[in-house]
Amino acid sequence: MPDHSPLITGVDVVVTNPMRAPLGNFVLVRVTTDQDGLHGWGDATCSGSEMAVAAMIEEHIAPALIGQPAGRIEQLWHTIYHLPYYRSGSVHLSAISGIDMALWDIKGKQAGLPVCELLGGRVRDRMLTYRSVSGRTFDEVLERVHELQQVGYQVIKVQVGVPELESGYAVPATDAQQAATEEAFSRGVPPAETWEPEPYTQLIPKLFEFLRAELGDSVQLIHDVHERVTPSQGLRLACDLAPFKLFYLEDLLRPEHLDTFRLVRSQSPVPLAMGEVFCNPWEGQELWFEHLVDYARHDLAHVGGITAARKIAAVCEARGILTAWHGPGNISPVTHMANAHVSLAVPNFGIQEFDANWDERIEEVFSTVPAYADGHVSVPLSAGLGCDVDIAAARKHPYVRRMRPTIRRGDGTPWAY
């Protein structure tokens, strides 16, 4: 039987930084074929390892793809997954993710159909979404929740700074911390952060008590722990937050501490979300098989692209676990489009994060970005993923080194995440 598939003629990587500092770079992958201009775009962005991913694709993966039928997505996924003897991990799987998205884009363009049609067709027309707010104080957080409610958000992620700590993940830095970060970037070295998990663990239940007293049940709330607590602190936090009816509690425990999810599950009714740091579709599989969490939050640019996401969703569907694919601003619009196509097509959709503060520079580089309205996100549907890249515009914004911070406790002990 003939393949009816175009053959791959090229795999090119474009590393670009069209975002405002201090955000990082996008790693974009273009797969070209032998059919009149037919090509696909994927996103292999892996924050903190951008140039390693680019080299992985160009030097170690692309040569195995040239001349292969682009339509054999599953075969090629496994071919390049097993290509290195030392496989898996963030760099390898981000590279695979970018190529996988590009191959789905090609297949959709060849068929003249949006990718979600190839995945079985739309199950919904638009997707519930949320945004994050943060502040240095409870009152600042409340003010920003009100701002989002006024434009229709029904679900909001809330983060707050810990007193005495200059910075923290996803909270506004103090002026002093901001100046120190910019000074570090100017020297091309990582900024430094201090973190103490215990004051944070004690503070967050007080934030939720404050917000529920002010907001009642007018909005659904999410909080992201970013895995910055010990297993016992995570267990205590999940129990302390139980009265406040969270939409979900995200990234409670590090991937190294997954066994503790069994304890958390047995002692707290808080819905749990996990997955954005998994770099392999099989990583953390006990969470889904044992129904230890409620939302799968994988990042399609790190976990293996659309091919991996649809399998994860299918495993979760059987257990009533819902999807909540990772959708921050520091992955490119190509991944946001991939997120949308899978989210539109799976029955067990939960929510789709679309949390980007992009400006006109993004729209110069990318043909499409998702649109927000009335608590939901939607995307225009055209053949493939529907997001092409203007290479000339991308090249106007070359790679800028943006290292993630080193995180230490007050006594100098290195701390994860």
Q: Between 250 and 294, whose beta carbon lies closer to Mg ion?
A: 250
Closest CB 415 distance from Mg ion, rounded Å:
17
Q: Between 108 and 327, whose beta carbon lies closer to Mg ion?
A: 327
Task: Write down the catalytic residue from 226, 302, 336, 397.
Answer: 226
Closest CB 227 distance from Mg ion, rounded Å:
8
Stretch near Mg ion under the rule CB under 5 A, chosen from 146-154, 246-254, 328-336, 371-379: 246-254
Q: Between 250 and 355, whose beta carbon lies closer to Mg ion?
A: 250
Q: Between 326 and 397, whose beta carbon lies closer to Mg ion?
A: 326
Closest alpha carbon to 298 in 253, 311, 290, 318: 311
Closest CB 336 distance from Mg ion, rounded Å:
16
Q: Residue 155: phi, psi to the nearest 5?
A: -130, 130
Closest CB 296 distance from Mg ion, rounded Å:
12
Closest CB 226 distance from Mg ion, rounded Å:
6
Closest CB 170 distance from Mg ion, rounded Å:
8
Stretch near Mg ion under the rule CB under 5 A, chosen from 69-77, 128-136, 243-251, 287-295: 243-251
User: 194: which strand partners?
Assistant: 408
Q: Between 278 and 366, whose beta carbon lies closer to Mg ion?
A: 278
CA distances from 354 to 9, 26, 117, 132, 318 (A): 34, 17, 22, 10, 26
Closest CB 157 distance from Mg ion, rounded Å:
9
Task: Write down the catalytic residue from 169, 200, 248, 295.
Answer: 169
Helix H, strand E, coil C: the string for the chain is CCCCCCEEEEEEEEEECCCCCCCCCEEEEEEEECCCCCEEEEECCCCCCHHHHHHHHHHHHHHHHCCCECCCHHHHHHHHHCCCCCCCCHHHHHHHHHHHHHHHHHHHHHHCCEHHHHCCCCCCCCEECCEEEEECCHHHHHHHHHHHHHCCCCEEEEEECCCCCCCCCCCCCCHHHHHHHHHHHHCCCCCEEECCHHHHHHHHHHHHHHHHHHHCCCCEEEEECCCCCCHHHHHHHHHHCHHHCCCEEECCCCHHHCCHHHHHHHHCCCCEEECCCCCCCCCCHHHHHCCCCCEECCCCCCCCHHHHHHHHHHHHHCCCCEECCCCECCCCHHHHHHHHHHHHHCCCECCCCCECCCCHHHHHHECCCCEEECCEEECCCCCECCCCECHHHHHCCCCCCCCCCEEECCCCCECCC
Stretch near Mg ion under the rule CB under 5 A, chosen from 78-86, 207-215, 223-231, 239-247: 223-231
Report d(CA 327, CA 335) in Å as an integer: 8
Among 43, 100, 227, 251, binds Mg ion (CB under 5 A): 251
| Interaction mask 109-148, Mg ion, x per CB under 5 A | ----------------------------------------
Structure tokens at 154: 């029904």
Q: Between 224 and 294, whose beta carbon lies closer to Mg ion?
A: 224
Concerning whether 417 is annotated as a catalytic residue, the answer is: no
Q: Is 355 in the site for Mg ion (CB under 5 A)?
A: no
Stretch near Mg ion under the rule CB under 5 A, chosen from 167-175, 220-228, 328-336, 376-384: 220-228
- CB atoms closer than 10 angstroms to residue 323: 25
Q: Between 272 and 340, whose beta carbon lies closer to Mg ion?
A: 272
Concerning whether 169 is annotated as a catalytic residue, the answer is: yes
Which residues, 261 to 290, sit near Mg ion by CB under 5 A? 276
Tokens 């501490």 sit at which residue?
257
Stretch near Mg ion under the rule CB under 5 A, chosen from 39-47, 124-132, 251-259, 382-390: 251-259
Q: Between 356 and 394, whose beta carbon lies closer to Mg ion?
A: 356
Closest CB 403 distance from Mg ion, rounded Å:
20
Report d(CA 275, CA 297) in Å as an integer: 5
Among 105, 224, 294, 299, binds Mg ion (CB under 5 A): 224
The residues assigned a catalytic role are: 169, 226
Contacts to Mg ion by CB under 5 A: 224, 250-251, 276
